[in-house]
Amino acid sequence: MKKIMPICIMGILILSGFGAVALNSDNEELDFETIDFENTGGGNRDYTHTVLVEVGTGSWCYWCQFTNAVMHDIYANGDYDFEYVELVDSNPIAVQRINEYNQHSYPTSFFDGGYEVLVGGYDTWPSYTSKMDLCGARAVPDIYATMDVFWLGGEQMDIDVSIQNNEASEYTGHLRVYVVEIVSRWKDSGNADYNHGFLDYAFNQDISIPAGESFTANTVWDGSSWNNPDITMDNIQVILAVFNSEWHQGYADPPSGDPFDAYYNDETIAATPSASGAPNKPNPPSGPTSGVIDVEYTYTGSTTDPDGDDIYYLFDWGDGTDSGWLGPYASGTQVEASHTWTYANTFGVRLKAKDTMDGPWSDPLSVEIAGPRIEIGSIDGGLLKVGTVIQNDGDIEFTDVNWKITLAGGAFIGKETTGEGLTVPANGEATISSGLIFGFGPTEITVEAWIQDGPSDMRQQDGFVFLFFVKVNPGGGI
């Protein structure tokens, strides 16, 4: 955002040379008001891959409206093998991507991750299609992507991606899956709707695919945070792009201005959502909301499949275990499963269903289980250290207990001490202490103890460090 003022001024000064007036193939001047958006580029293209164009644009920018109009017109024509995303700076997630390109002026179009860069807004097709042709002729690794997008309702989409590496060596890169509105909620400076306006990433992650193998992933993207206006199935497109991990020097102001790290795009596909083939989201499971350890409790739930397919169910017990897939059952049939918890805590029990593909998880049912707990005793001070005991009030020995003692303020040396693998016997306790402490002044002492996916406790007390001696005030447990 720190660049907006200089970029806006720069756009007026620089872009006026190629924005206010453009030249056709006969070098005749054309006004933006009279331009007829016909295909002035070539015909069908035999590209090595589908080209990706990311346009850094802003609704305040005068020249951005022309890129918006021309790109939409080229895309609608269908003669060029490309997909594009409008990174409208009204969206902070789009601004992050713009900043990754170290964008110099608005608008700027980045082709295939920066293999080609076009600064400015133009009203003739060749300004853009010539860049597409250069990218489309580029040799790329032999990878092949597929993507299924199913609309789950409630502004949610189930997105499955698969990328096959047909090369003889490992492929490393970065996967971006863009969720865009075909007719955007944002408008350009001419009050026209942006097209293919970027909303959010469904995936944004590094990937590594061994030779001859595939990368697969699934996510449920929830657009409810964008629901003003509402997300609708017929106005959404999902664009997958795979960027190679090989670094290149890019320039947002060619030939040598505003450098950025360029990673070229090797594969692009796009899809629009179809009616979900997955089962609908279940309601939270039904069953007891409280209990004790070592007692079995039964939970039930159900959902329906929009296609009437048989359904498999999976309960997640919230303690790192699940029921395994149960079924198949007819659509709408209630299923039940039982579980015994071995330690005390509050657990979120969830349910989901699948046919040929997974549906979304239900919201959790909160279940409070009572039983043995870890408790931390009062913290004691003294010469060079502080200490306490970790108590186990149950009949089961706790092993692999992790703990940490932290001093916030006062201490110059010994601010944090950690331990792992502590054993606390059944109905017993174990003593822990800090390392050497040296300092002066008031401090807050925090002791934490926990078992992975198990009981935990924390205690805080105030203290004062007198060089080598720590005085601790009583009380203060959490």
More confident position, 201 or 36: 201
What is the model's pLDDT at position 10? 37
Q: What are phi and psi of 73, to 5 degrees?
A: -70, -40
368 - beta bridge partners? 290, 346
CATH number for region 290-370: 2.60.40.10
Averaged pLDDT for residues 344-355: 91
In tens, the pLDDT along 63-121 reads: 999 999 999 999 999 999 999 999 999 999 999 999 999 999 999 999 999 999 999 99
Q: Are 163 and 207 in contact (CB under 8 A)?
A: yes
**What is the spatial distance between Cα 198 and Cα 242, in angstroms, rounded to a whole number?**
17
| Fold match between domain 1-276 and domain 374-472 | yes
* Confidence label for 38 from pLDDT (cuts 50, 70 and 90): very low
Task: Tell me: pLDDT of 404 over 50.
Answer: yes
322 Cβ neighbours under 8 A, 6+ residues apart: 314, 315, 316
CATH architecture of the domain with residue range 374-472: Sandwich (2.60)
**What is the spatial distance between Cα 433 and Cα 381, in angstroms, rounded to a whole number?**
10
Task: Tell me: pLDDT of 221 over 70.
Answer: yes
**What is the spatial distance between Cα 478 and Cα 475, in angstroms, rounded to a whole number?**
9
List the domain boundaries for the chain: 1-276, 290-370, 374-472
Task: Tell me: pLDDT of 334 over 70.
Answer: yes
In tens, the pLDDT along 356-385 reads: 778 888 999 999 988 777 899 999 999 999
Averaged pLDDT for residues 430-438: 95
What is the model's pLDDT at position 461? 94
Q: How many other CB atoms are there within 10 angstroms of residue 372's CB atom?
A: 21
Task: Tell me: pLDDT of 478 over 60.
Answer: no
Q: How far is residue 6 CA from its own chain's centroid?
A: 31
What is the model's pLDDT at position 477? 52
More confident position, 400 or 472: 472
H/E stretch holding 168 reads none
Percent of the chain with pLDDT over 90: 72
> Mean pLDDT for the chain?
87
Averaged pLDDT for residues 36-54: 67
**What is the spatial distance between Cα 36 and Cα 79, in angstroms, rounded to a whole number?**
18
What is the model's pLDDT at position 33? 33
Task: Tell me: pLDDT of 43 over 50.
Answer: no
What is the model's pLDDT at position 476? 60
255 Cβ neighbours under 8 A, 6+ residues apart: none
The number of helices, as runs of H, and strands, as runs of E, in the chain is 4, 33
Q: How far is residue 81 CA from its own chain's centroid?
A: 28
**What is the spatial distance between Cα 193 and Cα 182, in angstroms, rounded to a whole number?**
10
**CA-based torsion, 221, 222, 225, 229: positive or negative:** positive
* Confidence label for 36 from pLDDT (cuts 50, 70 and 90): very low
What is the model's pLDDT at position 72? 96
Question: Out of 43-47, 308-312, 459-463, which region has the weakest mean confidence (pLDDT)?
Answer: 43-47
**What is the spatial distance between Cα 447 and Cα 473, in angstroms, rounded to a whole number?**
14
Task: Tell me: pLDDT of 333 over 90.
Answer: yes
What is the model's pLDDT at position 18? 45
What is the model's pLDDT at position 27? 30
* Confidence label for 21 from pLDDT (cuts 50, 70 and 90): very low
> Which among 430, 331, 347 has a CA at the least distance from the CA of 387?
430
pTM of the model: 0.56
What CATH class does 1-276 carry?
A: mainly beta
Strand residue runs (E) in 326-415: 326-329, 335-340, 345-354, 365-370, 374-376, 382-383, 387-392, 398-408, 411-413
Crossing angle (nearest 10°) for helices 64-77 and 126-136: 60
Q: Per-residue DSSP letters for 10-78?
A: HHHHHHTTTTSSEE-TT--EE-TTT------S-S----SS-EEEEEEE-TT-TTHHHHHHHHHHHHHH-
